[in-house]
Amino acid sequence: MHSFPELEHVAPIQVDDHEDPFFPPERIPKHAVLSAASLFGPSSCRIPAVDDADHVRYVNRGCMAIGLALEHAGIGANDEVLVPAYHCISMIEPIAWRSARPVFYRIRPDTSADLDDIRSRLTPRTRALLVTHYFGFLQNLEAIRALCDARSIVLIEDCAHAYFGSNGANPVGSIGDYAIASAWKFFPVWDGGVLISHRHDLATVDLQPGNLAYQAKALVNTLEQAFAYRRMRILRLLLQGPLWLKDAMVRRRKAARPTLATPDTGTLSRRLGGWGFDAGLVRRTMSVSSRSLVRRVSRRRIADGRRKNYERMSTALGQLDGCRPLFPALPEGIVPQVFPLLIDAPERVFPVLKKAGVPVIRFGEYLWEGMEPGTCPVSMDLSRRVFQLPCHQELSDSEIEWMLEEVRAAVVRG
């Protein structure tokens, strides 16, 4: 295997409270981190973005946007919301927050929604349908839109993986009554979700900004994520003193905390180490620093960088025995969130990659407890076998090459 001296010293600090107790820190950034290059270059992009819509609200995260969409549509107790069986818990928690009932529908092996199965699960209480554009690959929603129109069902496009893109003439997010997106999955920001609508005025959605401490935390965490992966080194040098002081204060505050075990009242996704739904943050707007970065950073660089990295990974791993890209072709107009790779021996390969510090994710690794186990065998299979590897715009050539070598070694040799 080649050596990658520039990665040798990368032992990223954890800038949030969600350290993984089982595996070493990730050696390359899982999500886009701020770099000087991201601030330059054209902000306009030839590919549409979800926030091109007429009605846009910038919120704390995508899952909060799901809750707000349901609230805006008047969905609540005793209503049923159709959701894909291939899901993560933070997609379902906002439904529980509205006291509505999630009803899980099947997806097909290419991740498209199974319309026949959706039809079979409709009841007089079905009020909304959430459909997900997995990993940035936009689904064809015409038939689903027609069904929703015929049955007066609210269609929510889940664009958490698809901030950019179009499917033929349809820009991302334009078919649903509402669409939600996760800015932090595409932009180098710490917080940020988006609620949009092409059909409804969202001015009445009640939102408030976080306080000064929250604004400072969002900015500092964005910078620290960048510094941890050796970006913006001059700024890091300049801020060394104040950041050292901040760390010392945080350590002191933690040491002063009582050590008595307190019951964990967080939602399930937060207890699983994620950044899931939080009822206390539903009405919080995206932080000022994240909002200005979403406006400022080069969108063309995001779209072009992700597409270029995806193509490179597809070429490198496409012919490897033991795995295959879930979507071998990258259609025109698609901006991938990640590179999803189907692995033949996931239980063997996953810990090998994690131990090597590869930032691999398995979407749907944890499923909503209330879902009947036999609901969708395809989803169960994908949640085990699809590994998401980063392909974001901030990865350097050597970081991608290192990751590809680790994947080849893990898949072939284990």
Give the binding site for ligand PLP (CB under 6 A). Answer: 61-63, 88, 90-91, 132, 158, 160-161, 182, 193
Minimum gap (Å) between residue 253 Cβ and ligand PLP: 27
| Comparison of 140 and 240: residue with beta carbon closer to ligand PLP | 140
Minimum gap (Å) between residue 281 Cβ and ligand PLP: 10
| Comparison of 96 and 404: residue with beta carbon closer to ligand PLP | 96
| Comparison of 201 and 365: residue with beta carbon closer to ligand PLP | 365
Tell me the backbone φ, ψ of residue 258, rounded to 5 degrees: -60, 140
Minimum gap (Å) between residue 162 Cβ and ligand PLP: 9
* Residue 84 structure tokens: 């894909």
Minimum gap (Å) between residue 87 Cβ and ligand PLP: 7
* Residue 172 structure tokens: 């991302």
How many C-alpha atoms does 85 have within 13 Å on its Cβ side?
24
| Comparison of 135 and 402: residue with beta carbon closer to ligand PLP | 135
Q: Using CB positions, name the residue nearest to ligand PLP.
A: 62
Other residues' Cβ atoms within 10 Å of the Cβ of residue 341: 23
| Comparison of 28 and 83: residue with beta carbon closer to ligand PLP | 83
Quick one: angle between helices 62-72 and 89-97, nearest 10?
30
The identity of residue 224, as a single letter, is E
List, in order, residues 6 or more apart from 331 with CB less than 8 Å away.
137
Separation between Cα atoms, residue 220 and residue 215, nearest integer Å: 9
Minimum gap (Å) between residue 158 Cβ and ligand PLP: 5
Minimum gap (Å) between residue 193 Cβ and ligand PLP: 5
Q: What is the DSSP letter of 49?
A: B
List, in order, residues 6 or more apart from 18 with CB less than 8 Å away.
273, 274, 275
| Comparison of 202 and 356: residue with beta carbon closer to ligand PLP | 202
Separation between Cα atoms, residue 120 and residue 288, nearest integer Å: 45
